[in-house]
Structure 1
Amino acid sequence: MTSRPGRWVTARCEDAGVLDAIDAVDWGAIPGHPDWYEPARAARGLRALADAANMVEAARAGSLLGGGGIVHGHSAAVFPAAAVATPLLLDIAQQGHPAARDTVLGLVDEALSSYPHAEYTRVTTPYGTAVPICCAIADQLRARTALLAGLGKRGRPLLADAAERWRFEIRECVADGNDTAAFGTLVGRFPGGVHAAELHLGGEVAVLDEVALEYPSVEGSVEACLRVRGRRPGELPPGAVLFPAVCGERVH
């Protein structure tokens, strides 16, 4: 969805599509810690934020979302609902009142940095059925790079944080001694050195203890090669997706 060119929506998100998308989600069906997650706050907060016409209304909506809707600010916990809400929040940031945009950025930053409760740490995405919440949010942020980059000093740090939640999709593998060179596409920034990674394939998750960047992507390209130590190519089939293992270890 795009905002009307040349001006901010002066009072609220005029495109009913945002509200329809919020109402289309069964927030009660999204799992979350029963003592902390309040699905009604997610639905009401998002609608209120989309309708916000000033700072007071945006702040009230933010309190609903930050007090049990998508995060619980006092305990620094994030819920699976945050991954579902992120694209809706970004639509609000693009189309809504400037005060709503500022509230969105704060909420998304909090969701990305907070830890989930045990048993509520993963969500289903196009890249896997048990993806860490922070990685799912990071993918949503990357999908809106132009929007966030255009917001300057508020948006660019979110993109930088998202880049730390890298994702690598294997295309093919070649044996190299006792290791495997995995070729594929890398989004985000793989850190220097050797790191553990989660391997996602067919709903199963396995941990690879030692993964390193063999060579980085050429500027403007997502093509890259990772060295997976002590693994054979047959253990790393095409279509498997790697995420940082540290993200999977984030538990409140």
Structure 2
Amino acid sequence: MLEEIDAVDWASLPGRPDRYEPAVVVRGLKALAEAVDLRQVAEARSRLADRGILHGHSAAAFPAAAVAAPLLLDIAQHGPPVARGTALGLLGEALDCYPHAGYTRVTDHDGIAVPLCCAIAHHLRVRRAFLVGLGKAGRSLLADADTHWRFEVRECVADSGDAVAFGILAGRLPDGVHEAETHRAGVIAGLSEVTVEYPLAAGSPESESEAEVESEAEACLRVTGRQPAELPPGTVLLPADCGDRVH
């Protein structure tokens, strides 16, 4: 675990130079991974929450939080039991805090410039089975992550002047009308009206308990007033609210 922490070039990650200190992230993560008592856990948390992955005084998250997310999950899953609650708590704070202007996006696993919160949410969904197994605390963290949904278009057809997109939904898109941002070929654009056209496809989890262990499901969305050519296969939709988050 310590080697994985050292393998990251934390100094290359962007962040407000007057608030983000890369060396603090390294010291904090290593201290948390090696903590043997609550005092050491508290000291590690203090580092990470102040100029590490967060800036506690301004309640802001740094891009380093997205890179640290899988490491914090490793600590929670495989590290000292005394550190688990703090590791998960830091992930929850990073998900909720807004980033500073100019440092709001990171490149995700698909090479897309996604909002910081969406990148953190992805890492949490990857560990869904582990988090569900933790009970209430893990499920609560997952529920927060799933509000940062992600939809990838697989096929799109025209219907009554709208575009109906079939694809894969990660997270949970509630009923109602939503604004979204689209990502295609490095270009980010906006959509004003996105709704769920059909419930989850047959064979997808239907009950809450079943859904807790699924990270993705087939879904169908209606995009009002758009044409299929505007949403070709591979287009990714994310919540517009996430893209607007700035400290």
TM bin (shorter chain): over 0.9
In structure 2, the partner of 1:59 is 42
1:229 aligns with 2:212: no
**Alignment partner of 1:89 out of 72, 93, 118:** 72
Q: CA RMSD in A?
A: 1.1
In structure 2, the partner of 1:251 is 246
Superposition pairs of residues 132-211 of structure 1, within 5 angstroms: 132-211=115-194
4+ residue stretches of structure 1 with deviation over 6 A?
none
Aligned-partner Cα distance in 2 for 1:120–1:129: 15
Cα offset, 1:177, TM superposition: 1.9
Q: Deviations over 1:132-159 (max 9, x none)?
A: 0111111100000111111112211100
Q: What SS does the corresponding residue of 2:136 show, helix, strand or coil?
A: coil
In structure 2, the partner of 1:238 is 233
Aligned-partner Cα distance in 1 for 2:50–2:191: 36
Which amino acid in 1 is paired with 2:11? G
In structure 1, the partner of 2:103 is 120
In structure 1, the partner of 2:209 is none
Aligned-partner Cα distance in 1 for 2:13–2:179: 29
State the TM-score, normalizing by the size of structure 2: 0.93
Cα offset, 1:118, TM superposition: 0.6
| Aligned residue-pair number | 235
Which amino acid in 2 is paired with 1:58? V
Q: Deviations over 1:84-116 (max 9, x none)?
A: 000000000111122211110110010000000
Unaligned runs of 5+ residues in structure 1 are 1-17
Superposition pairs of residues 26-105 of structure 1, within 5 angstroms: 26-105=9-88
Cα offset, 1:34, TM superposition: 1.3
Q: Deviations over 1:153-186 (max 9, x none)?
A: 2211100001100100000100012100000001
Aligned-partner Cα distance in 2 for 1:139–1:83: 9
Cα offset, 1:129, TM superposition: 2.6
Cα offset, 1:40, TM superposition: 0.9
Aligned-partner Cα distance in 1 for 2:192–2:84: 40
State the TM-score, normalizing by the size of structure 1: 0.91
Identity across aligned pairs (percent)?
63
